[in-house]
Structure 1
Amino acid sequence: MSTVRPARDPRTSIAPSIAPSALDRLTQTVREEIALLAYPDRPWVAPAAGPDGGTALDVLIVGAGQSGLLTAAALKREGVVRTHLVDAAPPGLEGPWLSFARMHELRSPKVTVGSEFGLPNLGLRRWFEARHGRAAWEAVQRVPRTDWAAYLAWYRAVWDLSVENGTQVEDIRPAGALLAVACRSGAGLRTRYARLVVLATGSDGAGGWRVPAVVADGLPASRYDHANGPIDLARLAGRRVGVLGHGASAFDAGVAALEAGAASVDLCFRRARLPRVNPHRAIETAGMMTHYPSLPDSLRWRIARHFRAVDQPPARHSFERATAMPGFRLHCAAPWLAVGMEGDAIRVEIPDATLRFDHVIAATGQAVDLAARPELRSLHPRVARWGDRYAPPPGEADARLAQLPYLGPAFEFLPRDPGADDWVRRVHAFSSASTVSHGPHATSIAGHRHALPRLVRGLTRTLFLAQADHILPELRAYSEPDLSIPDDFEDTHGRAPRH
């Protein structure tokens, strides 16, 4: 194995060093700038009554992580005010940043923009400098994960966005011109009615995190975890830990286990060598991220297959930190062929060797399975998939990609059967489900600047066209005076002079 450079010591967070008043002043400045750019500023979507007698939402957003918050803020800027955010997580734990994400720093470059809508003071840099000072921004290479979570919390407060936490969406179905969304919380099951729904459900929006059968079938549930879920790290102190996978979550889980006192971590993956190149960086251009869905199906399919074949390496800081830690071992070309118990130890068979652990962590990503998503209970059999709309040439088939939804230009689902179930178009999948149709941009911090306007333009277009029949009558009925003069002005001043 090649020589590994010593790891930097990335910080999980940077302690604020500037007086809180600096952040308070920034907050006030941003709100003033938002107000200055708010023309036209009046709501324009006509209210609609729901079957329950209440006013229906214009847009219900499922998920209050970075994608959900940005969507809600963008709609607010566009005069769409009857929006609502729901999230299954407790307050403060929306998204992965303070739950299962374990990297010390973000993978995205710190200069990435997209959340600020052209207002630099709303962006990450100005927030970071107000909280930590300009010198800290210049010194940091990538933003600590916990600071990104704190930035999103501030962003939500700036826009005054409320979130209904602890709420799981269990189904979406048609209700006339509206959508009925079944929401379960601690208070029970409630149906909310909305014109449109956005699924900002993140990296597992097309299925869920699943432990491979070779592990799940061979071990008691208490002896394994998935890297993208809760892990009781304290239980791993003094234990031998096996990690299956080669991506960022695999290395981050290994680091977290060793930091918690694990005796050793053996990271195994089937590839002969780790990926070196991140293909996502190649498509981070304004042209690609803005116009990706305009590419022909054959090219979008081949790009997605390239990502699958090449994959992306673990983040550099995660790799360097892991490989510099005592007790960390890397096993390439080492798929787990068989897993089972041997007394109180876990026995893992890899080609040409047998490994023994006390606990294992599967860092194996998500399974694509629309039927596994509770919010897609009624939707999944009715929406078009790539396998329904595109037949790849010989040698280019991919069963996983074929199961992803074939989405429209604004991330909307399309009916599997043309002419039927047209209501599915009112649900927009701004999540990993859009990977083939729109590229890996809906869940990417770098992609939001270009992908989000496409989503929002599609939402507002649908809302606008739905009330097209009212435009002319409302225009004719419009009577707000722009010029204040007496009604009889023309009678006294409008006659031509006599000679």
Structure 2
Amino acid sequence: MIISPITATPATLDDLEQAARADLAALGYPAPGWLAPLDGHAAGAIADVIIVGGGQSGVTLAAGLKWEGLADVRVLDSAPAGSEGPWLTFARMEELRTPKTQVGNEFNVPNLSVRRWFETRYGVAAWADLPRIPRTDWKAYLDWYAGVFDITITSETQVLDVAADGDVIAVTSLCRGTVTRTLARAVVLATGFDGAGAWRVPAFVSDSLDKSRYDHTNGPVDFDRLRGKRVGVLGHGASAFDNAIKALSAGAASVDLCFRRPRLPRTNPHRAIETPGMMTHYPDLSDTTRWQIARFFRKNDQPPPVRSFETAMALPGFRLRPATPWLDVRETQGAIHVTTPGGVLEFDHLLLATGMAVDLPARAELKSLSARIALWGERYTPPDDEADERLARLPYLDAFYGFLPKHEEDAWVGRVFAFNSASFVSQGPHSTSISGHRHAVPRLVRGVLRRLLLDQEQAILPALERYASVDLPVADDFEARLATLETEAVR
């Protein structure tokens, strides 16, 4: 579906930005600052919160935290400016999977919504006809959204470590060749789907082939190199189909999409848990129920998007191969031979849509954290027939996405929050996704505010005793007249 911006409209995006800001002001945005100064630190030396990741979650969380009176919220992102998130890099679908009505980062302010943005840019009728939000428009909307809240993203900044520094957190980062160390009261890791590990090619492929013969679909792919090539894709999810389409569109001779299941999933179980009760109170479920739900989603995957499926199936050269696991891969006489239960397939290049490996120590920002945080495998023991090594390696988070320490001396980890795929078991399979923001962002914001309030608990009473805001009107004879009235009242 090709959409062209409307050529004439009474309201431009600049007008919409001003209207959104007026709405925010009417609702009291931002709240007055309320954090007490930290002893021994100069004003401005310590950020209220550092958010690692400037994608859809990072900017929405920054907006929510600023709304609640945290003025110094800093956002760091490893990508070049304008390339935050996957939308302009390895996300290759034409439109979002999320239903267009389930976006929840507008805080119930219509002029902040993607719907109002889209209608302003393309017209009301275009939104009515739109099945789902185009990927690149979603990214453009996020950039506009960040501008409304004056969120500045420090780009090309790779976080190297997050560690304790007395009563605050030190974030060490590399920005354009310079290593810096920044202090913060709290840190939020909004690092996306690979935040608990890394995109990783299966060892039976990487151990057998030169790196030039394969790519992971969640990384850079030179599709022009695939012109005239026979391409094998392993996986059956959205990424597998989107990359197959991209390869064929770039001129690949053929694409065989292989997966081990006997058939593609037909229903999306994520839709079943997108209810206000489930999304808002998921952490209140028992460990057993949360573990079983996570196991269910591990066994019952979601189907590819309908549009991606239909597009791929209509392309010449595309072959769908269910019940075709790859048993062995090797290069023979310049070709890649893949052994399957049905025989040997021959390819020139492989695309691996094999997802993420859970590997906390592999994340640079978790260098100091990974050995100190509680894991599900340490807090919950499932029945033998429900054991899952992958899930056991994920962090056991508190109700607000905060890390919990293995040992009391590492209580500082509770000032670090994992708003990413590390929350899969603790908070639900997709609480940090677009459709989860409406319920998950307020929970994370409450958790950060709660942590910062408790950190300054001992300063509350002294500050209350010093509080001297005069509410009654002051005139030259006001105190004398008031004293007279009080004396007469006593008589």
1:252, 1:184 → 2: CA distance? 33
> Is residue 2:109 matched to residue 1:119?
yes
Amino acid paired to 1:337: L
Give the corresponding residue for 1:297: 287
Check whether the contact 1:56–1:195 (CA below 8 A) recurs between aligned residues.
yes
1:72, 1:115 → 2: CA distance? 11
Of 204, 218, 224 in structure 1, the residue corresponding to residue 214 of structure 2 is 224
Could you tell me how far 1:214 is from its partner in structure 2?
A: 1.4
1:227, 1:44 → 2: CA distance? 45
| 3-state SS of paired residue (2:160) | strand
Q: CA RMSD in A?
A: 1.8
Give the corresponding residue for 1:317: 307
Amino acid paired to 2:449: T
Give the corresponding residue for 2:135: 145
Q: How many residues align?
A: 487
2:196, 2:15 → 1: CA distance? 41
Check whether the contact 2:162–2:365 (CA below 8 A) recurs between aligned residues.
yes
Change in 2 beyond 3 A, CA 1:484/1:294: same
Of 409, 421, 426 in structure 1, the residue corresponding to residue 399 of structure 2 is 409
Check whether the contact 2:30–2:67 (CA below 8 A) recurs between aligned residues.
no
Of 424, 435, 438 in structure 2, the residue corresponding to residue 435 of structure 1 is 424
**Where in structure 2 are the equivalents of 1:233-382 lying within 5 Å?**
233-382=223-372
Could you tell me how far 1:284 is from its partner in structure 2?
A: 0.2
Change in 2 beyond 3 A, CA 1:190/1:269: same
1:139, 1:489 → 2: CA distance? 66
> Is residue 2:431 matched to residue 1:467?
no
With 371-380 and 437-446 compared, the bigger mean Cα shift is at 437-446
Amino acid paired to 2:13: L
1:413, 1:487 → 2: CA distance? 56
Amino acid paired to 2:35: V
**Where in structure 2 are the equivalents of 1:25-36 lying within 5 Å?**
25-36=15-26
| 3-state SS of paired residue (1:47) | coil
1:123, 1:92 → 2: CA distance? 20
Could you tell me how far 1:173 is from its partner in structure 2?
A: 0.9
Give the corresponding residue for 2:186: 196
Amino acid paired to 2:411: D
Check whether the contact 2:55–2:84 (CA below 8 A) recurs between aligned residues.
yes
> What does the per-residue CA deviation read over 1:453-494, in whole Å, with 9 as the maximum and x for residues that have no partner?
111001011112222222222222222322222364343562
> What does the per-residue CA deviation read over 1:31-90, in whole Å, with 9 as the maximum and x for residues that have no partner?
110111116731111233677996201110000000000000000110111110000011
With 146-155 and 466-475 compared, the bigger mean Cα shift is at 466-475
Could you tell me how far 1:277 is from its partner in structure 2?
A: 1.2
Check whether the contact 1:206–1:404 (CA below 8 A) recurs between aligned residues.
yes
Of 78, 96, 100 in structure 2, the residue corresponding to residue 110 of structure 1 is 100
2:475, 2:125 → 1: CA distance? 63
| 3-state SS of paired residue (1:42) | coil
| 3-state SS of paired residue (1:313) | coil
Check whether the contact 1:246–1:269 (CA below 8 A) recurs between aligned residues.
yes
Of 182, 188, 197 in structure 1, the residue corresponding to residue 172 of structure 2 is 182
> What does the per-residue CA deviation read over 1:382-410, in whole Å, with 9 as the maximum and x for residues that have no partner?
11110000000120100100000000011
Amino acid paired to 1:429: A
Give the corresponding residue for 1:420: 409
2:30, 2:366 → 1: CA distance? 36
Change in 2 beyond 3 A, CA 1:173/1:346: same
> Is residue 2:196 matched to residue 1:206?
yes
2:307, 2:467 → 1: CA distance? 61
Check whether the contact 1:63–1:85 (CA below 8 A) recurs between aligned residues.
yes
Could you tell me how far 1:299 is from its partner in structure 2?
A: 0.4
State TM-score, norm by structure 1: 0.94
2:71, 2:43 → 1: CA distance? 19
Check whether the contact 2:29–2:67 (CA below 8 A) recurs between aligned residues.
no
2:30, 2:87 → 1: CA distance? 35
Of 60, 63, 78 in structure 2, the residue corresponding to residue 70 of structure 1 is 60
Check whether the contact 1:289–1:441 (CA below 8 A) recurs between aligned residues.
no
Change in 2 beyond 3 A, CA 1:51/1:475: closer
Amino acid paired to 1:421: D
> Which runs of 5 or more residues in structure 2 are unaligned?
none
| 3-state SS of paired residue (1:354) | strand
Check whether the contact 2:358–2:394 (CA below 8 A) recurs between aligned residues.
yes
Could you tell me how far 1:338 is from its partner in structure 2?
A: 1.0
Percent of counterpart pairs with the same letter?
58
With 347-356 and 82-91 compared, the bigger mean Cα shift is at 347-356
Give the corresponding residue for 1:94: 84
Amino acid paired to 1:444: S
> Is residue 2:431 matched to residue 1:449?
no
Could you tell me how far 1:113 is from its partner in structure 2?
A: 2.8
Check whether the contact 1:441–1:451 (CA below 8 A) recurs between aligned residues.
no
Give the corresponding residue for 2:33: 43
